[in-house]
Structure 1
Amino acid sequence: MRRLGSREWLAIGTLVAAIATAGSLYFSEILGLVPCDLCWYQRVFMYPLVLVLGIAAFEDRPEIAPTALAFAIPGAMIAAYHSAIQRVGTGACTVGGGCTSIQYELLGLSIPNMALLAFVLVAITMFAAGRSPI
Structure 2
Amino acid sequence: MNTPDTRQREHGWLQIFVAWMIALASSLGALFIGEVMGQTPCLLCWYQRAFMFPLALVLAVAAIRADRDAWIYGLPLSASGLSIALYHVLLYYGFISQAVVPCGQGPSCTDAKMTIFDVLPLPVLSVLAFAAISILLFAARRKNAP
TM-score (norm 1): 0.89
1:129 alignment partner AA: A
**Structure 1 counterpart of 2:137, from 107, 120, 126:** 126
**1:112-132, Cα deviation, whole Å (9 max, x unpaired):** 110110000000110121157
Question: Is 1:16 equivalent to 2:27 in the alignment?
Answer: no
Q: Which residue of 1 aligns with 2:74?
A: 68
Equivalent-residue separation in structure 2 for 1:58 and 1:126 (angstroms): 15
- Which of residues 7, 12, 22 in structure 2 aligns to 1:6? 12
Q: 2:45 is aligned with what amino acid?
A: C
Is contact 2:23-2:133 (8 Å) kept?
Answer: yes
Distance 1:95 1:66, change over 3 A: farther
Q: Which residue of 2 aligns with 1:102?
A: 112
Range that drifts further, 57-66 or 82-91 = 82-91
| Unaligned stretches of 5+ residues in structure 1 | none
Percent of matched pairs sharing the same residue: 33
What TM-score results when the alignment is normalised by the length of structure 2?
0.82
CA distance in 2, matches of 1:35, 1:86: 14
Gaps of 5+ in 2: 1-6
Query: Are the aligned partners of 2:51 and 2:80 in contact in 1 as well (CA < 8 Å)?
Result: yes
CA contact (8 A) 2:69 2:142 kept: no
